[in-house]
Structure 1
Amino acid sequence: MGVVADWLGAGCLVAGGLLSLAAGIGVLRFPDVLDRMHAATKPQVLGVLLLLGGVALRLRTPDDVGMIVLVAVFQLATAPVAAQMVGRAAYRSGRVDRSLLDADELADGVQGRAPY
């Protein structure tokens, strides 16, 4: 069982590292704020969760796994909220090219307000 868990942990670590690398490349290469925000949250969160899963499979002690679960919960709770706030701030400050949006649900609510 220990050998299988070690191999699964190694696979999770490699997959998580590759997803985190893809997120970093996406943040550098994508042209728009919303595209960069997408690259910074979607593959990065999954990459961190895979890395944490790989570390948990390698360590396997209850104290370590409990701490890893807490880190995963906080990652899942903060990354989407931060992405939402970055997207809203970019939209309100005019950094989003609205012609690229398929649907613009915020157009009616933002027109009468200050851009901050």
Structure 2
Amino acid sequence: MLNTALPWWIEVPVALLLVASGVFVFVAAVGVVRFKTFFMRMHPPALAFTIASWCVTLASIVYFSALEQSLALHAWLIIIFLSMTVPVTTIMLSRAALFRSRTSAAPEERVPPSLSRPRED
């Protein structure tokens, strides 16, 4: 049987990082509920979720490195892929929402006009 008991000085930072992650996710959820418009909901919760992801990744690295007694960096792949995909997804969602707001008959909020001139067909 594998001995999975770790010393307290390893378990405490892991537990603190996981609790901090939960706090950040809770703050992000409150932000999503509290903000009124889509554009207001985009940035602050995304930052809080990203910080929460970093906390879980660091907790995973510390825990598995201590458990295997060698540096376990496989969890870095999670945060690397999140760091690449979240900004792209955010930009695509914001552009789609901006287009939808500009073309709707009754815009829900004031959005800036397009920078390009409308084409004359």
TM range (shorter): 0.7 to 0.9
**TM-score normalised over the length of structure 1:** 0.75
**Local SS of the residue matching 1:67:** coil
Q: How much does 1:40 deviate?
A: 3.5
Separation of aligned partners in 2, 1:14 and 1:89: 35
**Unaligned 5+ residue runs, structure 1?**
none
Q: Which residue type is aligned with residue 31 of structure 1?
A: K
- 1:51 corresponds, among 31, 48, 56, to 56
Residue 94 of structure 2 corresponds to residue 112 of structure 1? no
Task: Select the structure of larger CA radius of gyration.
Answer: 2
Separation of aligned partners in 2, 1:22 and 1:63: 34
Bigger relative CO (Cα 8 Å, ≥ 6 apart): 1
Asked if the contact 1:20–1:48 (Cα under 8 Å) also holds between the matched residues in 2, the reply is: no
**Local SS of the residue matching 1:83:** helix
**Local SS of the residue matching 1:66:** coil
Hey, what does 1:84 align to over in structure 2? 91
**Unaligned 5+ residue runs, structure 2?**
1-6, 102-106
Separation of aligned partners in 1, 2:33 and 2:70: 37
* Aligned 1:59-74 pairs, distance under 5 A: 59-60=64-65, 61=68, 65-74=72-81
More helix by share: 1
Q: Which residue type is aligned with residue 41 of structure 1?
A: A
**TM-score normalised over the length of structure 2:** 0.72
Hey, what does 1:28 align to over in structure 2? 33
**Local SS of the residue matching 2:118:** coil
* Structure 1 segments of 4+ aligned residues over 4 angstroms from their partners: none
Asked if the contact 2:24–2:49 (Cα under 8 Å) also holds between the matched residues in 1, the reply is: yes
The 10-residue stretch of structure 1 (64-73 or 37-46) with the greater mean CA deviation from structure 2: 64-73
After superposition, the Cα gap between the structure-2 partners of 1:21 and 1:65, relative to the gap in structure 1 and judged at 3 Å, is farther
Q: How much does 1:36 deviate?
A: 1.2
